[in-house]
Amino acid sequence: MARLPPLDRVAKAAMTQNHATGTPAIALENASRLLNAKPSLAAEQAEEILKAVPDQPGALLILGAAKRRLGELDASRSALEKLVRRQPAWADAQYEYGLTLAALGRPKPAQAALKRATELKPQLTDAWRALGDQFTLAGNPQAADAAYAQHIRSSTRNPALMEAASALCENRLAVAERLLKAYLKRFPTDVAAIRMLAELASRLGRYEDAEALLARCLELAPGFAAARHNYAFVLHRRNKPVEAIAELDRLLAEEPGDPNHRGLKAAASVQIGNYGEAIRIYEDLLRDYPAQSKGWMSYGHALKTEGRTQEGIAAYRRSIAEEPNLGEAYWSLANLKTFRFEPEDVAAMEAQLARAELGDDDRLHLHFALGKALEDVAEDEAAFRHYEEGNRIRRRQLEYDPDETTERVERVKRLFTESFLAARDGWGSPAPDPVFIVGLPRSGSTLIEQILASHSAVEGTMELPDMPAIAKELGGRHKRKDPSLYPEILADLPAERLAGLGEEYLRRTRVQRKTGRPHFIDKLPNNFLHVGMILLILPNARIIDARRHPLATCFSGFKQHFARGQAFSYGLTDIGRYYADYVELMAHFDRVARGRIHRVHYESMVGDTEGEIRRLLDYCGLPFEAGCLRFWENERSVRTASAEQVRRPIFSDGLDQWRRFEPWLAPLKQALGPILEGYPESHSATQPLAEGNISATNGVSRM
């Protein structure tokens, strides 16, 4: 007698609810066995049962599951809605109903059904995973982490791992870490334990450890799809988008419709500047799952970057329609800089702020957006109060110590003396490819980038994270409070190691280069802290210091909510101290590396655009091209808050806009101190660039 195939989970659940007898019972068992291999036949069998025994629970469950597998989602929903109305406490029915609602693009009721399934049956492993997937798709990583942890917990039967999983679910991370490490000493190849430890490392921000653990997990179990998705996510977080996409493509070959794989691939595509691919993925994803508020917002970001502004605005509007309290979508509109809110938008934002249950992230974004809306209509005091409140909430969320920045600057100054640099003259990679634009955000760096990227020899990329990543790896610390070996470790590195670091930077950034032009721009402003290392590892790189009036720069940063980083910018005193430290460090390099850094004052660029552009190109060793004067005609992707502004000719309207807010800037003025005196003359380099030279000693004169 042929052996029957095993029943799957749905079939088993249906059989436990079998209220039929005789022939219907036999038919139900047959339908159960057909469900996976031949869902169309399973559906037909279930329909025949329902003709004989109307509303038979097991048959409704199989019919709903089969119709979902066949893509007949409305029929699936109809069967399962009837079932959950009649059997509201049946966890498996709620689970299947949740999957169908998710497939129909109805995330909130899907979450509700899946949550109900887990409440009714906490050991229903698949429901926890599906719930985590829905939270991920909705852009709620904290809830997703909790659901995935419960998934691990419910799927684990080993008592030792159950205890660790419980600690992980309850966020007792130190306990979970101790238990997991002890367990893995005895059972080093247990992939479930390795994945749990990797998740713990991710929660702690130790992504390097998480990457190594997940790589080992997949070495042992290549088919472990959940671990592979975790691995792709960690690679994405570690700025390894090419590697992340390779893992996601492997997953998508098996599960081409999985929304979480697709969404992560879109985000990784954005990382490498492949906006066309990201937009295509978002369009397909939103066609399948149209009720995703954060999906629409991410789609809007990609459209905006490509210069498709009106489509981007429409996507942000759709995001708000899906989730009216989503403050980040309102801020995304404000962050276009050229967008103007309507009175009804202001009323809607104020109504959301009045809700006591509104979360801090939505609240702070709404305050920043309202500040912009009110500033545009000259309600300056009210605008400032909103900026102030948004900054207060964000500052409370961050661990930023201005003393650490000051100490870091002092360490760099102590190491990088004139004699230290002279002793290493000619070291590093000789490649002249990079052009670094450093300074503070909102200082005119995007304008400089757009001008240079309008030259036929220069490619604009983005604010690249690679130089700080190299510094972090050299520093060797795993926790924020650990002491760092950087920058002092640079003194111990031989010439070949410094050259290797320069080549490593070029290798890491190669993925951003699309045009084949010989030079590219890295405009991460915080790289001013790494000017010394740049001089050592890439001595032929150009370094441009973008400078703007201290009060204009700092207040513009105070008005800006940054997607990540820039923790110094959420308090007037903090940002003033940071600016003062920056000026001090750049003045130091003006003294010890004379002529190596070219300074561009934003006000001078506005006042004498052609003259400043000619001086800029001369510093870069580039012939003048008229296209640099018409930079706003450049249709390249621009990935900063100034994207829309640099798509217009230079304008002087914003030069003194900060003066309207001067009555409230006393803490900023006090923190800046003498830096304010004599700008811009007091901010000029101590010695201009020697004609035709990039370095006084290395003999290289042209890029």
pLDDT score, position 143 = 84
Residue 526 has pLDDT above 80, yes or no: yes
Residue that finishes a domain, picked among 29, 52, 87: 87
Cα separation, 583 vs 679, in Å, equals: 12
pLDDT confidence bin for 93, thresholds 50/70/90: very high
More confident residue, 447 or 678: 447
Cα separation, 70 vs 613, in Å, equals: 62
Domain assignment present for 627: yes
Interval 654-681 mean pLDDT: 88
Domain assignment present for 345: no
Alpha-carbon dihedral angle through residues 201, 206, 208, 211, given to the nearest 10 degrees = 30
In which order are the strands placed within the sheet that holds 519-522?
458-462, 519-522, 434-439, 542-547, 597-601
Domain assignment present for 355: no
pLDDT score, position 690 = 36
User: Among 219-228, 567-576, 649-658, whose mean pLDDT is lowest?
Assistant: 649-658
Domain assignment present for 314: no
Residue 648 has pLDDT above 90, yes or no: no
Q: Pick left, alpha or beta for residue 255 (phi over 0 → left; psi -120 to 50 → alpha; otherwise beta).
A: beta
More confident residue, 117 or 648: 117
pLDDT score, position 498 = 98
Cα separation, 624 vs 84, in Å, equals: 72
Residues 605-646 pLDDT 10s: 988 999 999 999 999 999 999 999 888 776 655 444 444 444
Domain assignment present for 116: no
Interval 584-598 mean pLDDT: 96
Residue that finishes a domain, picked among 53, 68, 87: 87
DSSP structure string for 503-543: HHHHHHHGGG--S--SEEEE--GGGGGGHHHHHHH-TT-EE
User: Among 159-163, 193-197, 408-412, 688-692, whose mean pLDDT is lowest?
Assistant: 688-692
Angle between helices 380-397 and 360-376 (to 10 degrees): 160
Domain assignment present for 383: no
Strands 542-547 and 597-601, bridge-based pairing: parallel
Domain assignment present for 182: no
Interval 663-676 mean pLDDT: 94
Strand-pair partners of 597: 543
Q: Which domain holds residue 31?
A: 1-87
Residue 2: CA count within 13 A, CB half-sphere = 3
Cα separation, 586 vs 604, in Å, equals: 19
pLDDT score, position 130 = 87
More confident residue, 51 or 699: 51
pLDDT score, position 634 = 65
Helix (H, G, I), strand (E, B) or coil at 30: helix
Residue 24 has pLDDT above 80, yes or no: no
In the predicted model, what is the mean pLDDT of the chain? 88
Q: Calculate Rg over the CA atoms of the chain.
A: 29
Residues 456-486 pLDDT 10s: 999 999 899 999 999 999 998 867 778 899 9
Domain count for the chain, please give it.
2
In percent, the amount of the chain with pLDDT more than 90 equals: 63
pLDDT confidence bin for 596, thresholds 50/70/90: very high
pLDDT score, position 654 = 64
Kindly state the tokens that stand for 576. Answer: 């003033």
Domain assignment present for 94: no
Residue 329 has pLDDT above 90, yes or no: yes
pLDDT score, position 23 = 60
pLDDT score, position 697 = 32
pLDDT score, position 416 = 98
Residue 689 has pLDDT above 90, yes or no: no
Residues 61-80 pLDDT 10s: 989 999 998 889 999 999 99
Interval 334-350 mean pLDDT: 95
More confident residue, 126 or 397: 397
CATH number of the domain that 597 lies in?
A: 3.40.50.300
Residue that finishes a domain, picked among 87, 120, 155: 87
